[in-house]
Amino acid sequence: MKKFFMALLCCLFIPMLAFADKTYDTDVVVVGAGASGVTAALQAAELGAKVVIIEKLPSLGGGTICSGLTVVGSDQQNKYGFHQFTDKSYVFKKIMDYNHYAGVAPIVSKFINESNNSYEWLKKHNVKFDPIFLYTYLEDPAWHPLTGHCAGMLKSLIEEFKKYNITALTETPGKSLIIKNGKVAGVIAESEEDGKVTINAKSVIIATGGYGGNPDMVKKYAPFKGFSVNKGSKFRVGDGINMALSAGADTHNIGLMQWHDPMPKTDIGRATRSGFNEPFFWVNKEGKRFMDETYRMLWAYSGNASLNQPDGVVIKLLDAATVKHITDNGGALYGVHDLKPNNDFNKSVEMDVQGNKVVKANSIKELVQKLNKNYGFNMDEATLQATIKQINDSYANHEDSQFFKNRQYLREFKTAPYYALVTYPAFLGSVGGIKVDENAAALDADNKAIPGLFVVGLDSGGMLYGDTYNIVSAGQTLGWAVNSGRFAAIKAVDEMKK
């Protein structure tokens, strides 16, 4: 009988507990605890605001992937003699030239002018940086690598939350905005533990990382409609952008993605990936070369070039001599994913051949047959043979008369067996999203700030660019995340004090 009453009590009370809704009253609520959200929360709290931050994943900052951010005028640039990059006018003009003034100049200007203050602010909050270096010879020394990548940065910033009594709720996805008298006045979230969570706030800062993990939104907004590979998080599904849209925010450059080196559909060995990314010999599915392969170092460029190919397909080719060359001598590229001399590239390739991820053939005829059979292509052997003749002639003449590739990266394609890696357009995430002003305040179609609403990081990243993410002064998505997070927090606190 006692057991029966216990069971009855449980039946009566567990549902009540599950739906025990919670309400918070705060100054600032931040939706999303990645790079931009964590920065915004800490900055707002440091300036005296009461802050609640909500994150849909089980841990704060747990899903953010990145390594370094753009800074202009840093102590490191001075120390290592990159003086040109301490000149803000030089960098501003360079970035605006890159985006053909399609990026919004006042925002680019504030981003550059404040980037070193944000870098110093991070250091003040115990974020550590590794020495800067040129990732490729085509880039600027802008990218400042974080010790321990983004995880290192976020760990340091999150440790500071205690000091400022920031309330952080995990597994609490933001669902909709509270709008009162034409002003954004908080967020409705959900939690398995607490049911409906209402957070009333003077300002909302949306920081949910874009829509790259939402295939429907990618199809809707990105101009490339074929198959593409998402190399970023599958949890960034456009929640924040959709919430801002529902409050009347306008979009800006929303279709801009962070296109990257084309990638295979399935995972391959890390060494295989690096070796096939060497700047030697790429063709499209018709067997035609289409770019100076060295421009894969500026990966946004190889991303763009892949989008122009039939179905976006890029086939990366290596002959046996080049596989051996890369294995013995290491990669021509250096940086984060380098191959040092005497590496295991050859073993990694053979493993991926066994796994049917890399095609191996003893003749060009067999290579074409296998590509056509395994991937449904319709490549003409004569076309590929003509392209191979062209690349071998370029090598013999020390001149790529088609795409004018730096002669140091010209190689023959002559020694069987031949290897091919079939790849598709790939992106790190979305960049474009909501239209914002210099304070990251969301703007409506009349360019008026929506009271109480800020949108930061990848949810509003399109403001800095034209049609292509800027890889020349690299680290701009994280740079914008940190800077826009701070801009929004500073303005929100300012408004609060009025």
Ligand X SMILES: Cc1cc2nc3c(=O)[nH]c(=O)nc-3n(C[C@H](O)[C@H](O)[C@H](O)COP(=O)(O)OP(=O)(O)OC[C@H]3O[C@@H](n4cnc5c(N)ncnc54)[C@H](O)[C@@H]3O)c2cc1C
Outline where DSSP puts E strands in 115-219.
Answer: 143-145, 167-169, 174-180, 183-191, 195-206
CB of 168 to ligand X, least distance (A): 11
Position among 107, 458, 463, 489 found at the interface with ligand X (CB under 6 A): 458
Q: Which amino acid is at 454?
A: F
Write the DSSP string, 398-459.
Answer: T--TTT---GGG-----SSSEEEEEEEEEEEEE--EE-B-TT-EEE-TTSPEEEEEEE-GGG
Q: Which residue has the tokens 């040092």?
A: 340
Residue 143's φ and ψ, nearest 5 degrees, are -75, 120
Q: Is 173 in the site for ligand X (CB under 6 A)?
A: yes
Q: Which residues contact 274 (CB under 8 A, 6 or more apart)?
A: 331, 333, 337, 338, 339, 345
Q: Which residues contact 443 (CB under 8 A, 6 or more apart)?
A: 249, 250, 434, 435, 436, 437, 449, 450
CB nearer to ligand X: give 36 or 116.
36
Q: What is the Cα–Cα distance from 121 to 123, expressed in whole angstroms?
A: 5
Our finding on whether 207 is near ligand X (CB under 6 A) is yes
Q: Which of 197, 297, 359, 481 binds ligand X (CB under 6 A)?
A: 481
Is residue 262 a contact residue for ligand X (CB under 6 A)? no
Q: Does 239 bind ligand X (CB under 6 A)?
A: yes
Q: Which stretch binds ligand X (CB under 6 A): 16-24, 56-64, 298-306, 369-377?
A: 56-64
Structure letter (DSSP) for residue 209: -
CA 274 to chain centre: 19
Which stretch in 59-67, 121-129, 177-185, 463-471 sits in contact with ligand X by CB under 6 A?
59-67
Candidate residues 52, 66, 96, 241; the one interacting with ligand X per rule CB under 6 A = 66
Distance CA 256, CA 298 (A): 17
**Nearest distance from residue 314's CB to ligand X, in Å?**
19
Q: How far is the CB of 488 from ligand X (least distance, A)?
A: 11
Identify the residue among 69, 107, 323, 384 touching ligand X (CB under 6 A): 69
User: Applying CB under 6 A, which of residues 205, 359, 478, 492 lies at the interface with ligand X?
Assistant: 478
* Interatomic CA distance for residues 108 and 464, integer angstroms: 6
DSSP state, residue 130: P
Q: How far is the CB of 256 from ligand X (least distance, A)?
A: 13
Q: Which residues are within 8 A (CB) of 493 and not within 5 positions of it... i.e. 6 or more apart?
A: 27, 28, 44, 47, 48, 49
Q: Does 63 bind ligand X (CB under 6 A)?
A: yes
* The binder of ligand X chosen from 94, 110, 202, 236 (CB under 6 A): 236
**Residue from 141, 152, 186, 232 in contact with ligand X (CB under 6 A):** 232
| Least gap, CB of 211 to ligand X (angstroms) | 10
From 12-20, 65-73, 103-111, 361-369, span contacting ligand X (CB under 6 A): 65-73
Under rule CB under 6 A, residue 241 binds ligand X: no
Provide the 10 A C-beta neighbour count for residue 408.
10
Could you say whether residue 264 binds ligand X (CB under 6 A)? no
Number of residues that bind ligand X (CB under 6 A): 39
Query: What does the alpha-carbon distance between residue 413 and residue 387 come to, in Å, rounded to a whole number?
Result: 10
Write down the H helix ranges in 254-344.
Answer: 270-276, 299-307, 320-329
Sequence-ordered list of residues with C-beta below 8 angstroms from that of 113, at least 6 positions apart, any chain:
88
Contact region with ligand X (CB under 6 A), list: 12-20, 112-120, 402-410, 478-486: 478-486
Q: Does 457 bind ligand X (CB under 6 A)?
A: yes
User: Of the candidates 57, 91, 184, 384, which one interacts with ligand X according to CB under 6 A?
Assistant: 57
* Listed residue (256, 151, 173) closest to 478, CA to CA: 151
Decide if residue 432 touches ligand X (CB under 6 A): no
Q: Which of residues 14-43 bind ligand X (CB under 6 A)?
A: 31-37
The least distance separating ligand X from the CB of residue 334, rounded to whole angstroms, comes to: 16
Output the residue with the shortest Cβ distance to ligand X: 34
> In angstroms, what is the minimal distance from the CB of 393 to ligand X?
37
Return the DSSP state at 125. T
Residue 25 CB, shortest distance to ligand X, in Å, is 19
- Of 231-239, 266-274, 350-358, 367-375, the segment contacting ligand X by CB under 6 A is 231-239
Footprint of ligand X on this chain (CB under 6 A)? 31-37, 54-57, 63-69, 173-174, 207-209, 231-233, 235-236, 239, 428-429, 457-458, 475-479, 481
